[in-house]
């Protein structure tokens, strides 16, 4: 693992995004943990220390969240990571999030739309601003509830598929 453990940074100039104070304060750190079973990869990274994002950590995070179908990496938006880290902290679990879907290239997203009506045309996944996750020891309802309590972006419940979508776009909810 890299210098700080791993993470990813990206800017979205001019867009009004969720900017919650969910993880604020100097002298603190932010940590995120993922398992990507599809890729047989895992990550435990401190990606923010004393008010600064850690570039090496951000790069590692983007790598584990890459579009595995096309083997493409796009730098992840920091706010998406903040939402995931804060939701994980509220769930009070030791296990890492299992990644269902991270970044998707426009081509991958279009192919997925051909097979499923649940894939958005302008998905935040194509902007590296969304991640679909699950946990063995928490339900979709519990994970989505933690994310919704942040008031910090989009939260989708996919109960039949057993995962939760989280993004750093406008605050909104969907699914059952």
Is pLDDT at 1 greater than 60 in this prediction?
no
On whether residue 31 sits in a domain, the answer given is no
The enclosing domain of 97 has a CATH number of 3.30.1380.10
On whether residue 36 sits in a domain, the answer given is no
Neighbours of 122 (CB within 10 A): 10
Contact 139, 93 (CB under 8 A): no
Number of domains in the chain: 1
In b/e form, how buried is each residue of 14-32, taking b as 16+ CB within 10 angstroms? eeebbebebbeeeeeebbb
On whether residue 132 sits in a domain, the answer given is yes
Task: Determine what percent of the chain is predicted with pLDDT higher than 70.
Answer: 85
- pLDDT attached to residue 145: 98
Is pLDDT at 97 greater than 70 in this prediction?
yes
On whether residue 48 sits in a domain, the answer given is no
On whether residue 60 sits in a domain, the answer given is no
Neighbours of 119 (CB within 10 A): 17
The residue-averaged pLDDT of 136-153 equals: 97
Is pLDDT at 20 greater than 70 in this prediction?
no
Is pLDDT at 84 greater than 60 in this prediction?
yes
Question: Which H helix or E strand runs over 98?
Answer: strand 97-101
Average pLDDT, the chain: 86
On whether residue 3 sits in a domain, the answer given is no
- pLDDT attached to residue 118: 77
On whether residue 47 sits in a domain, the answer given is no
On whether residue 28 sits in a domain, the answer given is no
Distances (CA, A) of 123 to 3, 28, 88, 91, 116: 32, 32, 22, 26, 13
Domain limits for position 163: 67-175
Is pLDDT at 58 greater than 60 in this prediction?
yes
């Amino acid at each position: 693992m890299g210098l700080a453990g791993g993470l990813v940074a990206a800017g979205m100039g001019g867009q009004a995004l969720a900017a919650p104070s969910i993880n604020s304060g100097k002298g603190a750190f932010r940590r995120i943990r993922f398992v990507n079973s599809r890729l047989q990869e895992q990550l435990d990274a401190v990606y923010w220390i004393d008010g600064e994002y850690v570039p090496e950590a951000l790069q590692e995070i983007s790598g584990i969240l890459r579009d595995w179908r096309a083997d493409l990496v796009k730098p992840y938006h920091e706010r998406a990571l903040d939402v995931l880290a804060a939701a994980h902290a509220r769930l009070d679990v030791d296990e890492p999030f299992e990644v269902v879907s991270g970044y998707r290239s426009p081509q991958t997203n279009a192919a997925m739309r051909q097979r499923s009506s649940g894939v958005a045309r302008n998905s935040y996944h194509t902007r590296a601003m969304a991640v679909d996750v699950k946990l063995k020891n928490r339900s979709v309802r519990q994970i989505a509830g933690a994310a919704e309590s942040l008031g910090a972006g989009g939260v989708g419940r996919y109960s039949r598929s057993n995962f939760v979508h989280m993004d750093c776009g406008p605050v909104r909810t969907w699914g059952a």
